[in-house]
């Protein structure tokens, strides 16, 4: 089961939200730190609001785009 953290950037959907996950890694040759961002659709049964940092886990597919579920609000 994958666990990830991210920031809620949209909660306009019914019982769902969009979470921005940022990953930082060092370039293998040049050493510069690179940020890559990804938007993930998650089930929002807790009622997390925009700007909150949340922890979410992978679940069975709930719909075409939703395969993650918010477990708790971290901040």
Tell me what pLDDT residue 27 has.
97
- β-bridge mates for residue 50, sequence order: none
Assigned token pair, 6: 């991210």
Tell me what pLDDT residue 1 has.
80
pLDDT by residue for the chain (75 residues), tens digit each? 899 999 999 999 999 999 999 999 999 999 999 999 999 999 999 999 999 999 999 999 999 999 999 999 997
Q: What is the DSSP string of 21-58?
A: EEEEEE-TTT--EEEEEEEEEEE-SS-PPTT-EEEEEE
Tell me what pLDDT residue 75 has.
74
Tell me what pLDDT residue 61 has.
97
Tell me what pLDDT residue 65 has.
96
CB 49 within 8 A of CB 21: no
**Domain at 3-73, CATH homologous superfamily:** Nucleic acid-binding proteins (2.40.50.140)
Tell me what pLDDT residue 53 has.
97
């Amino acid at each position: 089961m994958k666990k990830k953290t991210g920031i809620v950037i949209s909660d306009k959907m019914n019982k769902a939200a969009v979470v921005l996950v940022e990953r930082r890694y060092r370039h293998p040759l040049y050493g510069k730190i690179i940020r890559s961002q990804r938007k993930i659709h998650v089930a929002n049964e807790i009622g997390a609001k925009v700007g909150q940092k949340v922890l979410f886990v992978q679940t069975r597919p709930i719909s075409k785009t939703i395969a993650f579920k918010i477990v708790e609000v971290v901040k």
